Each structure stands twice: as C-alpha cells, then as structure tokens.
Amino acid sequence: MKELTKSGPRLAKRRFGMKEDEAVIQNQIRVLSVDELPLMREGIATVINATPDMQVVAHASSAHEAIRRYREHMPDVTVMDLRLPDMSGIDAMIAIRKEFPKACIVVSAGIRSRCARLHAQKYPTE
C-alpha cells in the first residue's frame, strides 16, 4: 500500500478511503529518538517533527528502553546518543542490529564522545 500512495495523500484518500492526514503519515520517515537527556530528546523531536516527511514515533532514555521501543515501533531511522545510563549506545546499536540487521541507526554524540564515535564506525551497515 505504501507504493500505491507515493502519488500523494489525495490519491490515497480517493483509492483507499483514508483521511488525508492518515495518508500523509504513511509516507513519513518514522524516527526513534534515544538520549538520556529529556531536553535533547525534545529538541530532536521538535526539529524532526517540523519536517513534513518525518515524524518521531517514540523516545527512549536508556539502551534497554531503546531496544524495546525499536521492537515495538520498527522505526525507519533511530537517532542514538552514545552515552546512555544503563549501557553504551554502541552496545544498544549492536543489540538492535543483531536482531534487525537492516536497522538504520544514526549516531548522535557531542565533542566529548569523539573516540566513541570512531569506535562506532567499526560497525558499518551492510
């Protein structure tokens, strides 16, 4: 159905009897935001949700929560901080990619995490 709605929400509305808002959501990139700091999660959500073709579908404040939320929501993209309270974002990324090899994870890290970012690059996508 996703392929049939590429022509836009109005066509989907006519073909499938959807509300226009429902058709728009089907074409959006679904994002999971993972950061221990609420301010960062909210900031990321504000920027992403302001983009018409993207939507934050879930937030997580720890690695274990991120893994659960990923299973629950199956996002198109995960924005993951490397510093999380229960385990590193790298370990969470490895756990998610082990179960979902095609998972797309974008690393979000500050200057203090430069070494961690370099370490994360050892785990490229397919």
**Which domains are delineated in the chain?**
28-120 (3.40.50.2300)
Cβ contact 86:64 at 8 Å: yes
Burial label, 105 (beta-carbon count in 10 A; 0-12, 13-18, 19+)? buried
Return the minimum-mean-pLDDT range out of 2-11, 19-28, 69-78, 80-89. Answer: 2-11
- pLDDT tens per residue, range 45-73: 999 999 999 999 999 999 999 999 999 99
- Grade residue 16 by pLDDT with cuts at 50, 70 and 90: very low
- At residue 23, does pLDDT exceed 70? no
Encode pLDDT of 99-111 as tens digits. 999 999 999 876 4
* Better-predicted residue by pLDDT, 97 or 24: 97
